[in-house]
Structure 1
Amino acid sequence: MNLSSKIQVLRKKNGFSQEELAEKLGVSRQAVGKWECNQTLPDIDNLIRLSAIFNITIDRLVKDDDQCNKLIEEKGRHDIDILIDFLIKAKKETYAGGKGEVDSSRPHSNDLQFEEGAYLYYDTYLGGECFVGEEAVWVNNKPIWALNYSGRVIGDNFSGDFLKEALSMVPKEMPYRGPGFFQKGLYSYHCKVDGEFSWFQGFEEIYYNDLKIYECYIHGGKIK
């Protein structure tokens, strides 16, 4: 594994976008992109900064040998891909799947939970036709990611079953609510999200016969 690959792997394992890493280093996003594409290499000052940010020695960062590569691959087992896979499974095993209900954590709250290994997913919300809630993930009892949402039913013919079906189709490339578009009969679901998994905002809508009957706004990201 060369230096460019290591930078990309370590960036993702630490949950940084290229923009976030660039900001921490005081360089442009394009500079980080060129490092990861092996078009250019960081100078010694930036290597020192990368070493500190990733909590890894410069020796391990620049050496291309099996032992160093193994240490990098083992570092941060709870990387972004593992987290997203767990999150998608948790979503399907709770609200979208009609499962996972637990005792209320607050007066009149609706709480759902899914746990697997070191990972814990918790979804809690207040209300019904107008609602506010939060989804969050913990690893070894440490909160690492959360999504806040607020929505309401604004028209007739709303179907909770249709919403659950749409949410059960959450894609890995956009693991927030449901897919960008899903249609069944007279119902259509739309979801748009700006940003990356570490920091995002967006909304979802449901239309019935081309009339909007539901809307929900979301935002969230990683927790440090």
Structure 2
Amino acid sequence: MSIAENIQMLRKKNSLSQEELSVILKVSRQAVGKWENGTAYPDLERLIQLSDYFKISLDRLVKETENCDLHVKNKENPDKSQFIQFLLRAKKATYAGHGEETKASRIASHDLEYKEGELYYYDTYIGGEFFGGEEAIWIKNEPYWCMNYYGRVIGDHFNGDFLKDALSNVSYDSPYRGPALYQNGEYTYHCKTEGSFEFYQGYEEILYDGKKMYECIFNGGIVR
């Protein structure tokens, strides 16, 4: 197999689109497309990134053979689809679903957890009207994904139950906070994200009768 075929096979076996791989490598989607159709070749820096991300040697990545027997990622990790589905269930069972808090991990922190077999989710935050925290996932006690967030209430009429309702409508296509738009009466929730599941950032806000009274920024991705 050629390097073009190797890159394409590795990308597809890891359930990545060309756009998602381009974000991870900080190149254009067109560049990834050219690598895969053989009209361009990754430079050394990008080859090293590909080798590190897919956890194979450079030699096996660039080797042209009928059967290079490429291994992809850690076999103990669930595929992205399985992981996202778990993340959605975890979110809906904890803060967004009015789940009970567990023992505080830090002074005056609020902590929530959710488990399914070898998958473990933890959410911890501090503060009240001004707050900051982190969500994370472990697979067999190995950290896999995290998200940091900071938010604040900046106006009257904030309703925590409305925020939780919005967050409980988190979608598979954007499994970070809430949906792009959620409304109930005078309340409106907006959420915008950039990037991919592996590396992203976003912003959410709540308006009451058209006036912003809450905002939160967040970012995160895969950790190894």
Judge same fold: TM > 0.5, yes or no: yes
Alignment: residue pair count? 215
> Cα distance, 1:78 vs. partner?
2.1
Counting only pairs closer than 5 Å after superposition, residues 62-101 of structure 1 correspond to structure 2 as 75=75, 77-101=77-101
C-alpha change, 1:144 and 1:18, in structure 2 (3 Å) is same
> Cα distance, 1:99 vs. partner?
0.9
CA contact (8 A) 2:114 2:121 kept: yes
Q: How big is the alpha-carbon RMSD for the aligned residues of Structure 1 and Structure 2?
A: 3.3
> Cα distance, 1:126 vs. partner?
0.5
> Cα distance, 1:173 vs. partner?
1.0
Say whether residues 1:17 and 2:21 are aligned partners: yes
C-alpha change, 1:103 and 1:21, in structure 2 (3 Å) is same
Distance 1:129 1:35 in 2: 49
Distance 2:126 2:220 in 1: 18
Distance 1:74 1:132 in 2: 31
The match for 2:122 is: 122
Distance 1:153 1:182 in 2: 18
The match for 1:203 is: 203
CA contact (8 A) 1:93 1:100 kept: no
> Cα distance, 1:6 vs. partner?
1.4
The match for 1:145 is: 145
SS of residue in 2 equivalent to 1:214: strand
Partner AA of 1:136 in structure 2: A
The match for 1:136 is: 136
> Cα distance, 1:200 vs. partner?
1.6
C-alpha change, 1:19 and 1:222, in structure 2 (3 Å) is same
Distance 1:199 1:51 in 2: 15
TM-score, length basis structure 1: 0.79
C-alpha change, 1:31 and 1:94, in structure 2 (3 Å) is same
CA contact (8 A) 2:93 2:114 kept: yes
The match for 1:222 is: 222
C-alpha change, 1:55 and 1:73, in structure 2 (3 Å) is closer
Distance 1:159 1:77 in 2: 38
SS of residue in 1 equivalent to 2:123: strand
CA contact (8 A) 2:136 2:143 kept: yes
CA contact (8 A) 1:131 1:151 kept: yes
C-alpha change, 1:79 and 1:63, in structure 2 (3 Å) is farther
CA contact (8 A) 1:100 1:114 kept: no
The match for 1:7 is: 10
Distance 2:219 2:74 in 1: 31
CA contact (8 A) 1:18 1:33 kept: no
Q: Give unmatched runs, 5+ long, in structure 2.
A: none
Identity of aligned residues (%): 45
* Greater per-residue helix proportion: 1
> Cα distance, 1:156 vs. partner?
1.2
Counting only pairs closer than 5 Å after superposition, residues 164-203 of structure 1 correspond to structure 2 as 164-203=164-203
SS of residue in 2 equivalent to 1:84: helix
CA contact (8 A) 1:110 1:125 kept: yes
TM-score, length basis structure 2: 0.79
Q: Give unmatched runs, 5+ long, in structure 1.
A: none
CA contact (8 A) 2:125 2:132 kept: yes
